[in-house]
Chain A
Amino acid sequence: MNKILALIEMSGGEMCSTTPGLLAAAARLGTPVAVVAVAPGGGTGLVAELGSLGAEHVYLAESDQVGKLLVGPQLEALSAAMTALQPVAVVVANSAEGRDVAARLAARTRAGLIVDAVDVRSEGERIVATHSVFGGAYAVESTVEGAPAIVTVRQGAIEERANAATPAVTTVTVSADPAHSAVIESVSARDAGSDRPELRGAARVVSGGRGLGSRESFVLVEQLADALGAAVGASRAAVDAGYVAQTSQVGQTGITVSPQLYVALGISGAIQHRAGMQTAKTIVAINTDADAPIFDVADFGVVGDVFTVVPQLIEAIKARASR
């Protein structure tokens, strides 16, 4: 059957959360081959887990440059696997690292590149990807002329899981040309923070905007998020004002979310914000301005002050939970 390579990204010694979705995407298109760049001897512990997630073949590319050079080792790993296995497609997460690797691989091999697929399928000989464009205003299907296809898959978009397999294992050594690679000088981990759900892929999101007025008052957004078991999001204005970290930004240039419930607090609903949340199933907005554009997309809008409405809402949710 047709081989499909899936680049497995590692972070702090662990496989990234994108792994199961990528292997499922690969399994849909053919025989999944997991390709991982690891430090010498570092891959043996991964094989069983990759098999349980559907990899029929694990291609371990060992390099002492892993963690030292940006992108280079992962690129050489995929490049070597491509030459050895002649896949019909390569799937990679649409993360920063994934996009860098996919882009360089496509440029190097002159293969067609499909970016930010939210769905993939094979249709006869070709691979068809679906994209959600302009904040979900359009669904676009694309394919690649000339094989193979290199596809980056939006994180969290593919929820199914592949059947477990017992993988064959290949181990090779790769080396990137240091002259073409950036050097990783240092890495710092984010504070472990809270046990709130991750924003990307969250089923519920409570976002706050400039209307919260200060970093201190932004706590109200977190309190409602906790009462609902939701992730915390924000508008760019709230991020720019320093109320919350940039990793919480929802919108055109932030994260795209598509939750069951999206609550917008003190957010006007600029077109660039809506581009990141308008595919939510249910949208709720609280804003003092009855004409705020956020109400045009809200299923339930409250014209009111977040500082009076939200505490009452939290009380009502808590009262119900303790019944």
Chain B
Amino acid sequence: MKIAVLVKQVPDTDEERRLDPASGLLDRLAGENVADEINERALEVALSHKDSHKGTEVVVISLGPESVTKALRKVLSMGADSAVHVLDEALAGADAGRTAVVLAAAVKQAGVDLVVAGNESTDGRGGVVPAMVAEQLGLPHLSFLDAVEISAGSVTGERGTDSGSMVVSAPLPAVISVTERSAEARFPNFRGIMMAKRKPLSVVSLADLGMDPDFAGMGRSVVVTTSARPLRTAGKKIVDEGNAGTRLAEFLVAEQLV
């Protein structure tokens, strides 16, 4: 079985993240850029299947600027077999729709049985790209899965809903997206890091995918304005001397919160 894992490079959530006030786009220079944690979990879903099913091949696919190479080397060192990096100037600031048609073309070129994605990225939090990729490919999509079971011809998973949970399934080929409940990512070991340097990482352009860089006839979302909200400041801080509970109650009363 061949599995594609979609990987997005995002700003590290451990640091303050910024938007460029002029363009409204991510300020990629502001902090460290990493493979999104949710994609490492998606990769783990694929790798644990590979661990128990010899002959499974895992390809990671990412769309983004030059710096994506680092995130791709990291996931290769965790155990993916190869990587595809879609790099093209025409993709700067691409919205979810453009991102999805391009990823779908790359997935098609790779020719896979299963696509695994994270349910939503930590920067955009859109959570729409996997479903858009599925629609482009005409495939079923199991979204927001907390648990996944992959078998030879089908995939089954459990997803939370607003009122409980449901079990869903689809025959392969299919697209799935997983939540942070799905798996705990492994750490790359020394051998993995050494091997990753020799694993194939191909860089492809829109022309290589046979795509029109103008995306003629496609609507898109654009940012109109961006404004930073004022930062919160610390208020009163007291050290408990035996009466902090009472003093806190007094504060809540004064603020008319009780």
A136–B160 CA distance with the chains assembled, in angstroms? 25
Which residues of chain A have C-beta atoms less than 8 A from B156's C-beta? 185
Query: In whole Å, how far is B228's beta carbon from the nearest beta carbon of chain A?
Result: 6
A125–B225 CA distance with the chains assembled, in angstroms? 17
Query: In whole Å, how far is A317's beta carbon from the nearest beta carbon of chain B?
Result: 5
User: When the two chains form the complex, which single residue of A116, A138, A149, A284 contacts B226, counting CB atoms closer than 8 Å?
Assistant: A138
Binds B, one of A20-28, A44-52, A55-63, A176-184: A176-184
Does B211 belong to the interface (CB within 8 Å)?
no
Does A308 belong to the interface (CB within 8 Å)?
yes
Max count, chain A CB within 10 A of own CB: residue among B139, B168, B238: B168
A119–B37 CA distance with the chains assembled, in angstroms? 29
Q: How many A-B residue pairs have CB under 8 A?
A: 279
Which residues of chain B have C-beta atoms less than 8 A from A252's C-beta? 13, 122
Q: Which residue of A lies closest to B13 (CB)?
A: A272
A99-122 at interface with B (beta carbon < 8 Å): 99-100, 102-104, 106-108, 110-116
B233-257 at interface with A (beta carbon < 8 Å): 234-240, 243-253, 255, 257
Does A305 belong to the interface (CB within 8 Å)?
yes
Q: Looking at chain B's contact residues, is the secondary structure mostly helix, strand, loop, or mixed? A: mixed
Known pairs A112-B95, A228-B258; A180 contacts B129 (CB<8 A): no
Does B110 belong to the interface (CB within 8 Å)?
no
Whether A190 contacts B135 by the Cβ 8 Å rule is no
Known pairs A144-B219, A305-B240, A313-B248; A182 contacts B100 (CB<8 A): no
Query: In whole Å, how far is B222's beta carbon from the nearest beta carbon of chain A?
Result: 6
Q: Which residue of B lies closest to A143 (CB)?
A: B224
Which residues of chain A have C-beta atoms less than 8 A from B131's C-beta? 71, 99-100, 103-104, 107
Q: Looking at chain A's contact residues, is the secondary structure mostly helix, strand, loop, or mixed? A: mixed
Whether B244 contacts A108 by the Cβ 8 Å rule is no
Which residues of chain B have C-beta atoms less than 8 A from A187's C-beta? 161, 164-166
Whether A71 contacts B97 by the Cβ 8 Å rule is no
User: When the two chains form the complex, which single residue of A104, A112, A271 contacts B16, counting CB atoms closer than 8 Å?
Assistant: A271
Query: In whole Å, how far is A209's beta carbon from the nearest beta carbon of chain B?
Result: 17
Whether B143 contacts A144 by the Cβ 8 Å rule is no
Whether B238 contacts A182 by the Cβ 8 Å rule is no
User: When the two chains form the complex, which single residue of B14, B143, B166, B218 contacts A188, counting CB atoms closer than 8 Å?
Assistant: B166
Does A298 belong to the interface (CB within 8 Å)?
yes
A139–B223 CA distance with the chains assembled, in angstroms? 11
Other A-B contacts than A305-B240, A315-B245, 4 sampled, CB-CB below 8 A, are: A302-B237, A302-B244, A304-B240, A312-B246
